[in-house]
A and B are shown apart, each in its own frame.
Chain A
Amino acid sequence: MNRQTDTEFTPKIVGFLCNWCTYAAADLAGTSRLKIPSTFSVIRVMCSSRIDHNLLLTTFFKGADGILVAGCHPGDCHYGEGNYYARRRFALLKKVMEVLDIDAERLQLSWISAAEGHRYAEVVGKFTEKIRELGPNPIKGSTRF
């Protein structure tokens, strides 16, 4: 189920943003009228620690070309330590991704505080560029594990 690569590739990117920091940064990017690629879709969760392996892998299998998980800076998680757990789970998942032949670069974890609207726009812009270079996600639509 590979997509055509001769026409221009429009990446589909999902961003799981924590409610307290990065979602607020995304709001601030909006209030500041910064530009966000329309290929980026925000899904709000309460904390980055809610994001588990299943959700991420399934999102890749469903066809996301890239996934950004973003939450509060270390030490600033609204729930104390959630983002530390997220970081630990991430390190593990990156290894699983290699085995499954998903380029580990398709998954990015970033810390973006509520005040960092500009950084949010920058991170999303750069990540989108990176995914554009990587091309379509090769495992889209393959049977779920």
Chain B
Amino acid sequence: MRAKVGVYICECGPNIAEKVDIDGIIAGLSEFDGFGETELVVKKYGFLCSKSGREFLEEEIRNLGLTHLVIGACSPRDHDSTFKGVCGRTDLNPYLYRIINIREHCSWVIDDVEKATEKAESYLRGGIARVLRQSELFENPIDVNPDVLVIGGGVAGMQAALSLAAEDRRVSIVERSDRLGGRALELSGLSSGTFRGSDIAAGQVESVMGNPYIDVFLNTGVSSVIGFLGNFVIELLSDEDGATTEISSGAIIAATGCAVYDPSLSGSYNYSDRDDVYNPLEISRMLSSEGGVALRSGGRPENIALVHCAGRDELNYCSGICCGVMMKTALLLKESIPGVDITEFYRDICVPPHEGRQLYESVLEAGVDLVRVESAGLSGTTVSFREKSGVEDQRSFDMVVTAPALIPSPDTADIALLLGIPLDDTGFFQEAHRMTDPSGTTTDGVFIAGTSQGPRGILDSMRFARASAGLILTRLIIGEKLVPEVAVSEILEAYCTGCGNCLEVCVYGAIYSDGSKGVSVVNEAICRGCGNCFGSCPSGALRTKHFTNTQLYREVDEALR
């Protein structure tokens, strides 16, 4: 069939019409003979994106029997989907259309009308040449499972589950330990004031247990995950009896929490189990126990040192919450042991703006001795330190409390492997994009929340959990189908040598090797169409369907004509 390309140039009011001689382009394109047998229809219109503009285009496509459509207008970022929608209401496959940006890249950036016109015409020629090389692609909407799996039942995991259940989503929480609540419940001794983290967690546990939309699997881990956004199949493994359960879900939230650094691993902290050196979790336990805070020998400490920043140099990051924890600990110790002297050795004070300031002032008021140091080490309960001024000194105490950094939990790497998501350079789950997608991951359908993605407090853990839940609610809508990206890559079996280069570069793990045929295959449901694999293939077997070399060469040819 002879191709008939409709080329419609939008005036965009004065935006394009004033800087580009559209009639000149219509004449130029009509005379151009570089497209062989192809028939061109070239017209202009006031505002193509308006309702009347869209209707005009639909009629043109139908009445003239267009085989391809090129729109000369604004950025695809503005209206690509608008004109794809126009095609969708006709028989024209949306992948046989192309929008050419002659506004942002032409009329708005080139002052000289003659030059802007020439440029617009060249871009349009490129668009026509390219669209003739495009092929039909068919979107294949798939049914989705709106249920969600949450791995980890700490404040983050429980918050995500509760937010989802509030919108009638069925959620399964898989928790490796024998209870929900996570770390926050261990902090009851340290909880104070109006914001009591352990109370929040306890309240969540109650809501989760009473929620008909949430199933809880305790003493259970995840042993395998297959699938993709909308359709995951997960195998759960019970730690109690080794039994496996298969569940399915449309999305997964990983909220497996973090671990706490062991200060004795640091060369500058030398102490043993017999020394009265504790971390805040242990202090929390003592504070909420009947005996209160006591020395191993049984007596009450008369003076206590709080030493900040254990692990900061070794790990090369600041956990951001420990200063607040230490100041709170200092206040609680003062309260619980009358007359105790407390010295805090800190390097920087890193606290949230509002509450942090108040905390700092309360600590000063309570008479805590704050000493700013450049470095500090332990030898038993003797603190050696170098002050900012350079003065070095050491002081002995009855008891020392360290502030260990939050570090990735031992499970983080295993879970990342199961879910196919990367770790960042500190070993926590890595978000898809620091700024634009801090709750997503490179695996579509897998989200992260809480301290498994980096050190943070209870409220921030819950905020990220709500963000993940919100993303799932907007991506996986009950009763709606999902349209996977179709402008993806494919591997031509006949050319593929099975070398596996492409498998290595795909960050989404979208390529697998088909052992029986000795070739690699793209899983089109997972591929995002970035094209990275293309350049890795030495055999010319890869094809990026909507960005083929032929399509790009036609654009290059017209740009260089």
Other-chain contact of B77, A27, A42, A49 (Cβ < 8 Å): A27
- A89 to B: closest C-beta gap in Å: 6
With A43-B556, A45-B531 known to touch, is A23 a contact of B108 (CB < 8 Å)?
no
A83–B283 Cα gap in the complex (Å)?
Answer: 47
**Hey, which chain B residues are within 8 Å of A52, CB to CB?**
534-535
A38–B442 Cα gap in the complex (Å)?
Answer: 38
What residue of chain B has the Cβ atom nearest to residue A34's Cβ?
B109
B432→A46 contact, CB < 8 A: no
Interface membership of chain A positions 12-37, coded 1 if the CB is closer than 8 angstroms to chain B and 0 otherwise? 10100000000110110111011110
A46–B547 Cα gap in the complex (Å)?
Answer: 8
Binds A, one of B117-125, B318-326, B336-344: B117-125
B119→A38 contact, CB < 8 A: yes
B432→A55 contact, CB < 8 A: no
Q: Is A7 an interface residue (CB 8 A)?
A: no
Q: Is A85 an interface residue (CB 8 A)?
A: yes
Other-chain contact of A46, B115, B507, B530, B559 (Cβ < 8 Å): B530
Q: Which of B414-441 contact A (CB under 8 A)?
A: 422, 432-435
Q: Is B111 an interface residue (CB 8 A)?
A: yes
Q: Is A142 an interface residue (CB 8 A)?
A: no
**Hey, which chain B residues are within 8 Å of A54, CB to CB?**
549
B109→A36 contact, CB < 8 A: yes
A30→B118 contact, CB < 8 A: no
A26–B535 Cα gap in the complex (Å)?
Answer: 25
B505→A85 contact, CB < 8 A: yes
What residue of chain B has the Cβ atom nearest to residue A29's Cβ?
B109
**Hey, which chain B residues are within 8 Å of A55, CB to CB?**
549, 552-553
A46–B528 Cα gap in the complex (Å)?
Answer: 10
With A35-B111, A46-B531, A79-B532 known to touch, is A26 a contact of B547 (CB < 8 Å)?
no
A interface bracket (residues with beta carbon within 8 Å of B): 35 or more
Other-chain contact of B532, A30, A33, A50 (Cβ < 8 Å): A50
Q: Is B104 an interface residue (CB 8 A)?
A: yes
Q: Which of B466-507 contact A (CB under 8 A)?
A: 487, 505, 507
Interface membership of chain A positions 47-60, coded 1 if the CB is closer than 8 angstroms to chain B and 0 otherwise? 10111111100110
**Hey, which chain B residues are within 8 Å of A14, CB to CB?**
556, 559-560
Q: Is A82 an interface residue (CB 8 A)?
A: yes
- B545 to A: closest C-beta gap in Å: 11
Q: Is A68 an interface residue (CB 8 A)?
A: no
Interface membership of chain A positions 77-92, coded 1 if the CB is closer than 8 angstroms to chain B and 0 otherwise? 0111110010001000
**Hey, which chain A residues are within 8 Å of B44, CB to CB?**
none
With A38-B115, A64-B560 known to touch, is A44 a contact of B534 (CB < 8 Å)?
no
Q: Is A63 an interface residue (CB 8 A)?
A: yes
**Hey, which chain B residues are within 8 Å of A33, CB to CB?**
108-109
Give B residues with C-beta under 8 Å from A.
75-77, 101, 103-105, 108-112, 115-116, 118-119, 122-123, 126, 422, 432-435, 442, 487, 505, 507-508, 528-532, 534-536, 544, 547, 549, 552-553, 555-557, 559-560
Q: Apart from A41-B559, A47-B530, A76-B435, what 20 extra A-B contacts exist at CB < 8 Å?
A: A29-B104, A29-B109, A30-B103, A30-B105, A33-B109, A36-B105, A36-B109, A38-B110, A38-B116, A38-B118, A43-B126, A43-B552, A49-B530, A50-B547, A51-B535, A52-B535, A58-B556, A79-B530, A81-B532, A82-B530
Interface pairs (17), CB distance under 8 Å: A12-B559, A14-B559, A30-B103, A30-B109, A33-B108, A33-B109, A34-B109, A38-B115, A38-B118, A41-B122, A53-B535, A62-B553, A64-B560, A76-B433, A78-B530, A79-B442, A81-B532
Sorted nearest first, the 5 A-B pairs with minimum C-beta distance are: A30-B104, A50-B531, A52-B535, A41-B559, A49-B532
